[in-house]
Amino acid sequence: MSSGSRRLTPQAVEVIDRANSVGFTFDGRSYSGHPGDSIVSALLASGVTVFSRSYKYHRPRGVLTAGFHDPGCMMQVGDEPNVRGSHRLVEDGMVVSSQNRWPSLRFDVAAANHAVGRFLTAGFYYKTFIKPQPLWPAYEKILSRFAPGGRMSADSVHGRYDHRFAHPDVVVAGGGPAGMLAALAAAEAGATVMLVEEEHALGGHLRYEPSQHKDLATIVGRVAGHPNIEVLTDSVVTGRYDDNWVAICQRNHPGVFERLIKARAKVLVVAAGLVERPYVFAGNDKPGVMLSTAVRRLINLWAVKPGERAVVLTANTTGDAAVEDLERAGVAIAAVVDGRRGHTVVRARGPKTGVKSVELADGSTVEADLVVTAVGWTAPTSLLNMAGDRPRYDPAAARFFACDLPANVLATGGITGDGTLDQLAEHAQAVGREAARRSLTTRRQWQAARPWAASPQPETDDVSPQAIPDLPRHPHPEMFRSTSHGIVDFSEDVSSKDLVAAVAEGFNSIELAKRYTTATMGPTQGKLETVNAVAVVAEAIDRTIEDVGTTVWRPPYAPITLGALGGRSHEPTRYSPMQSWHQANGAKPLVAGQWIRPDHYGDPEAEVRNVRENVGIIDVTPLGKLDLRGPDVSRLLEQVYVNRWAKLGVGGVRYGVMCAEDGVVLDDGVTGRLADDRYLMTTTSSGAGTVWEWVENWLQTEHPDWRVVVTPMTTSYASMNVAGPKVRTLLERIVEDIDLSPDAFGYMNVRQGRIAGVDCFMWRIGFTGELSYEIHVPAGYGLDVWEAILEAGADLGIGAFGVEAQRIMRLEKGHFIVGQDTDGLMQGFSAGIDWLIKLDKDDFAGKPELTWQSQRTGDVRVVALQPVDGTVVPLEASQIVDGSGAIMGRVTSSRMSPTLGRSICLGVVAENLATAGSVVTIRLPDGDLVKARVMEHHAHFDPEGTRLRG
């Protein structure tokens, strides 16, 4: 594969830094290149011509395009798979390896596929490996060996990924001459411009045009110097979405592996240029068959001699220019085949790894190791498609053109037409000025649409629409396939023969043939192969390309990593003000939505016993808290809760359940009346956001006449629940301004006063079933008050308890948890809150559904269950089954009760099993069946509630 140096003497516009060298390895061998070299140009300069094996037949592949989308040059770099070797710049110390070879690039077992290639035609995998079905795992194991792509190790560490939001007036996709001139014209007309170029430098095809070098340098200098233009190189516009939401993948932002820029462009200018189209003929995928643009890039940018003796098939001026470049580089021109005169090449012959001779249409054979083709262009209309356009084929120019663009998308450059450089410049500048005019109009409209804007900007719409001149279309012969068959899709190894076979099997439209053969579905995503695929299918079904049309280009235009799509995590983590104490005291953290809470401090069962015998304290800061003020709060409460609120007096607290309009349990919590027109509502920790929106929805859309102000207070207060038989003794030591005696401060009341010198609200409620007080203090005092309570209760045996102990105690008391013991289908009566639902209220959310539920039978019910064998703790979500094994319900909560010394559960069962005393069968995950008794009360412990009322 290696045949000495191919580096040329210095070229006029080369981009390599010959004063310096970089060393790297490829498949274990050492090579050197210069800064500015791509991996492939450095290897090619060292004489390497084969860079990978193809996807299906594992044929050796070399350079085709010498650009980002070069299909045969995907490589593994260190831990990073699928690196574009013709684009990625080589770096000192890089460890590069080829992909798709096993065991080695030189000797590849799967290349035997090629010997059996006639069996591997379109649909081969679908037909062969589908039957017998039981053998699929065995097939899969072997086939995955041959799967394309690189590898990454499970513990590979990649750099950071990031997102950026941008609000430019104009995004220009493509930094060639047209893109640059459009950007300059737009910027000079007052628009802010983001100019995005896929390559490492601006210039497009002018970069390898030595005669244009001075002009290019001038334009690049003007772009760089313009304050309104932000240039992004090595970046690509991957998609255009609704309202010009433009996704840009930036690969060269310092410190970031890849960055996704989400730009809201007022106008998008597509100046994507043209992609040179390969020619379909036998042997067209051999290393040594290249596009004319590849040859021009290799010689002019990297000073690499692409071969020794060339046959050039040219149908346009780029091909002609390639001939000149080759001659200057000292490559012998064996033949120039002029496609404009109807001449063509038929076959490239030689060993698998290269070309030895070329058969021409006249039957002659020419010795050559390089075949250069210049047969036409594909317009990369991807972004225009995404804007709704369906490009139309022009046979005279042999390419597709856009026809119908929305007002916020413009196109210029080669994608629009041909012409002299002056004509293109005139077009690009007119497009740039028009882009600025439209974007500034949009900017003013958006600014005026902000109601808080001081005053709408003065209308300066005196700029009249810019006339955009038509670009001529140069005639070009239609050249897609020679008289022989060859590769159409180089990424997917789909040949023209495969497409013809697919049509013969009935897949006779481009969309069907595409899916059946996977043509255009590989990493190049149609940029090289779409038009050839369309042409082959059109020929096979005897229609025109215009009739067949093209497949739809969808985002992303170029590959983007999942890391860039994900960006960095913006998910906040919430801690209570007491977190430092929890950490210092051995709390095991529990992830509860956004919150990190103490699950326990070592022994949750001991924490339960301490609350039942002495006194305990738990941090309940995540409880949702809404401050409700105004004369109509009680009407709001009547509307959102199923129970009654009108008679709740100042100082009173009530438990409430909310149902959605479908009658399904939404949330629960207690709400207290602090003053005539002031209430504090608490919600479940996870439901805080939902309930806030729910309450606002009622106030804003159904009852805008009600006077209620809602303020979320969840994180403004630190909240703690102090519970246990000794709690009153404890609190009497540090609470001021509140009479804690049972007569003055009874169960289900709220008081305001001071604790440890800090203003507080205090509720007497009892989730744990013990005498307990829930204390809310301003968040900044949370830790102080927490420590003061612990200090004051030290001699009473106070201890902190965590979420697990609280869950055990609430289960002992039979309190359901919304979302755990209820689900997204469970309506109110199924939750066993019949006593709470007041169907005689005029209205409340979900009332009609609950009314109808009350009138029917057959729904499920939440019940308390006790396994007959109290040592068995069924796993939560175990099924409840009947004699035939049919599912009759499930266990929703299950724990060993330290208080009762037996297992206790809540479960959901069919109504006919919900009677107290009936015995149900629980199927454990291992298949064992155990019996459990349905209890009379949800509460397993102290069903009368004497302890909490004490």
Partner 1 sequence: MLLVPCPWCGPRNASDLRYVGETSRRPDPASVTPAEWRAYLYDHANPAGPTTETWYCRGCRRFFVAERDTVTNVFTSSRPPGRQNPEEPR
Could you list the residues that contact partner 1 (CB under 8 A)?
Answer: 241-243, 245, 262, 264, 446-447, 449-453, 661-662, 693, 696-697, 700-702, 704, 842-843, 847-849, 852
Strand partners, 365: 359
Measured CA to CA, the distance from residue 448 to residue 432 in angstroms comes to 24
Tell me the closest approach of the beta carbon of residue 701 to partner 1, in angstroms.
4
Judged by CB, which is closer to partner 1: 480, or 844? 844
Tell me the closest approach of the beta carbon of residue 200 to partner 1, in angstroms.
30
Judged by CB, which is closer to partner 1: 849, or 882? 849
566: Cβ–Cβ under 8 A, 6 or more apart, which residues?
Answer: 161
DSSP codes joined into one string, 208-274: G-GGGHHHHHHHHHHHHH-TTEEEE-SEEEEEEEGGGEEEEEES--TTEEEEEEEEE-SEEEE----
Tell me the closest approach of the beta carbon of residue 134 to partner 1, in angstroms.
43
Tell me the closest approach of the beta carbon of residue 691 to partner 1, in angstroms.
13
Whether residue 276 contacts residue 301, with contact meaning beta carbons closer than 8 Å, is answered with no
Judged by CB, which is closer to partner 1: 243, or 327? 243
Nearest residue to 81 via CA among 161, 163, 158: 158
Tell me the closest approach of the beta carbon of residue 834 to partner 1, in angstroms.
19
Measured CA to CA, the distance from residue 413 to residue 67 in angstroms comes to 19
Tell me the closest approach of the beta carbon of residue 703 to partner 1, in angstroms.
9
Judged by CB, which is closer to partner 1: 452, or 835? 452
Measured CA angle at 385 (ends 253, 198), to 5 deg: 25
Judged by CB, which is closer to partner 1: 422, or 693? 693
Strands of 118-219, DSSP E: 160-166, 170-173, 193-196
Nearest residue to 333 via CA among 309, 362, 307: 309
Tell me the closest approach of the beta carbon of residue 872 to partner 1, in angstroms.
41
Tell me the closest approach of the beta carbon of residue 244 to partner 1, in angstroms.
8
Does residue 351 have a cis peptide bond before it, meaning omega lies within 30 degrees of 0?
A: no
Whether residue 589 contacts residue 598, with contact meaning beta carbons closer than 8 Å, is answered with yes
Judged by CB, which is closer to partner 1: 125, or 446? 446
Tell me the closest approach of the beta carbon of residue 662 to partner 1, in angstroms.
6
Tell me the closest approach of the beta carbon of residue 106 to partner 1, in angstroms.
49
User: And the tokens for 38?
Assistant: 């791509």
Tell me the closest approach of the beta carbon of residue 446 to partner 1, in angstroms.
5
User: And the tokens for 850?
Assistant: 């609950």
Measured CA to CA, the distance from residue 683 to residue 914 in angstroms comes to 28
Tell me the closest approach of the beta carbon of residue 844 to partner 1, in angstroms.
8
Burial class (CB within 10 angstroms; exposed 0-12, middle 13-18, buried 19+) of 844 = buried
Measured CA to CA, the distance from residue 891 to residue 863 in angstroms comes to 10
Measured CA to CA, the distance from residue 768 to residue 814 in angstroms comes to 10
Tell me the closest approach of the beta carbon of residue 423 to partner 1, in angstroms.
34
Whether residue 371 contacts residue 345, with contact meaning beta carbons closer than 8 Å, is answered with yes
Measured CA to CA, the distance from residue 181 to residue 428 in angstroms comes to 6
* 456: DSSP letter: P
* 563: DSSP letter: H
Longest alpha-carbon distance in the chain: 113
Strands of 472-537, DSSP E: 487-489, 494-495
Judged by CB, which is closer to partner 1: 404, or 661? 661
Judged by CB, which is closer to partner 1: 464, or 855? 855
Judged by CB, which is closer to partner 1: 119, or 245? 245
Judged by CB, which is closer to partner 1: 447, or 918? 447
Judged by CB, which is closer to partner 1: 546, or 702? 702
Tell me the closest approach of the beta carbon of residue 386 to partner 1, in angstroms.
13
| Side chain identity, residue 710 | V
Does residue 556 have a cis peptide bond before it, meaning omega lies within 30 degrees of 0?
A: yes
Phi-psi region at 787: left, alpha or beta (left = phi > 0; alpha = psi -120 to 50) = alpha
Tell me the closest approach of the beta carbon of residue 247 to partner 1, in angstroms.
10
Judged by CB, which is closer to partner 1: 742, or 848? 848
| CA pseudo-torsion sign 85, 88, 94, 95 | negative
Judged by CB, which is closer to partner 1: 215, or 849? 849
User: And the tokens for 893?
Assistant: 């909560």
Tell me the closest approach of the beta carbon of residue 625 to partner 1, in angstroms.
16
Tell me the closest approach of the beta carbon of residue 455 to partner 1, in angstroms.
14
Judged by CB, which is closer to partner 1: 433, or 847? 847
Measured CA to CA, the distance from residue 27 to residue 38 in angstroms comes to 16
Judged by CB, which is closer to partner 1: 80, or 627? 627
Burial class (CB within 10 angstroms; exposed 0-12, middle 13-18, buried 19+) of 557 = buried
Judged by CB, which is closer to partner 1: 587, or 642? 642
* 10: DSSP letter: P
Judged by CB, which is closer to partner 1: 709, or 900? 709
Judged by CB, which is closer to partner 1: 520, or 714? 714
Stretch (H or E) spanning 733:
helix 727-734
Question: In terms of DSSP H, where are the helices of 12-60?
Answer: 39-45
Q: How far is CA 415 from CA 178, 191, 398, 424, 441, in A?
A: 10, 23, 12, 11, 26
Tell me the closest approach of the beta carbon of residue 700 to partner 1, in angstroms.
5
Q: In what order do the strands lie in the sheet with 29-33?
A: 29-33, 22-26, 95-98, 74-77, 80-84
Place of tokens 């000079």: 188
